[in-house]
Amino acid sequence: MLNGDWLETLAAVVDQGTFEAGARRLAITPSAVSQRIRSLEQAVGHVVVSRGSPCTPTEQGAVLLGLARGVAALEADALGRLNDDGSAAVLDVAVNADSLATWFVDVIAAVARFGSDGAGPRLRLFVDDESRTAELLRSCAVIGAITANPEPVQGCSSQYLGSMRYVPACAPGFAAHWARADGWPWCDMPTVRLDEKDTLQDTVLRRHDAVGRPPEHRIPTSDGFTRAVRSGLGWGALPAAHLGDDVDRGRMVRLDDDLTVRLYWQSWRLRTRATDGLADAIHAAAAMHLE
């Protein structure tokens, strides 16, 4: 049977990034952390932590990290039931930037209501592209993820939430500058992207057989991205929720047909009051806002 202190120490080292920071979190010495990790590795017969900067779990370590987080979640749930609250629960969730800036705000509000007296679960969000959030779940960094990947990660369930609609659009002044009698010059018009993982604009460019890559601006927040497109910095695929009726009113210009991204909620099959409440809030918000 694995020692609970070993598992707790593994989680602390991975979460904090170094043995020293993990030691501070646990209020023990770095040598004690090293000893616990060595004991865990000897017990399972595998190296469980890559000693880099930051420290990361090995493939075998990720399995044990999932066990550590599962034990912690069950312990938090038991303590919450004993104290009639969910104060010890921690909800680590991966979410894409556009969801966080739109419909996921309702989930945050719901979690706030779980602990309106300040004694509810703690919500910790990890933001990444919807095509990558499942990787955070696979590495056991989070207990659930909003993802575009329908294939469930091992040990997890996957539930369809709905689709986010995106509109390739630009500001009227930008459109007036780039308008051509034979269509939009896709190879030349500057684009706006969230980051290197943002491929929605590439999908539009492929539709028009654009050769090469046009000039691009990178604005790494969803709200900032939308403001950049509205200001005329470039064109981009905007969440329909951010556009409202601006296209119909002439405040923005639609450049191409809409795009849709199907979203799923993937989470560990482990169930506690906090995770059930979170899942209910996510499904309620998705039902209200997604298509």
> Which mean pLDDT values do the consecutive 10-residue runs of the chain (291 residues) have?
87 91 92 91 88 88 84 71 60 94 95 72 90 88 93 92 98 97 95 93 95 92 96 97 94 97 93 88 97 94
**Looking at residue 274, what is its pLDDT?**
84
**Looking at residue 63, what is its pLDDT?**
84
**Looking at residue 1, what is its pLDDT?**
76
Interacting residues of 67 by C-beta distance below 8 A, sequence separation 6+: 2, 7
**Looking at residue 186, what is its pLDDT?**
96
**Beta strand residue intervals within the chain, DSSP E:** 49-50, 56-57, 90-95, 122-127, 144-147, 156-170, 191-193, 216-218, 236-239, 253-254, 259-268
**Looking at residue 4, what is its pLDDT?**
85
CA 234 and chain centroid, separation: 25
Q: Is the overall model pTM greater than 0.75, yes or no?
A: yes
Cα(114)–Cα(216) distance, integer angstroms = 42
Q: Which domains, and CATH codes, for the chain?
A: 1-76 (1.10.10.10), 164-261 (3.40.190.10)
List the structure tokens of 144: 């659930």
**Looking at residue 206, what is its pLDDT?**
95
Query: What is the DSSP code string of 153-191?
Result: PTTEEEEEEEEEEEEEEE-HHHHHHH--TT---TTTS-E
**Looking at residue 265, what is its pLDDT?**
98
**Looking at residue 2, what is its pLDDT?**
82
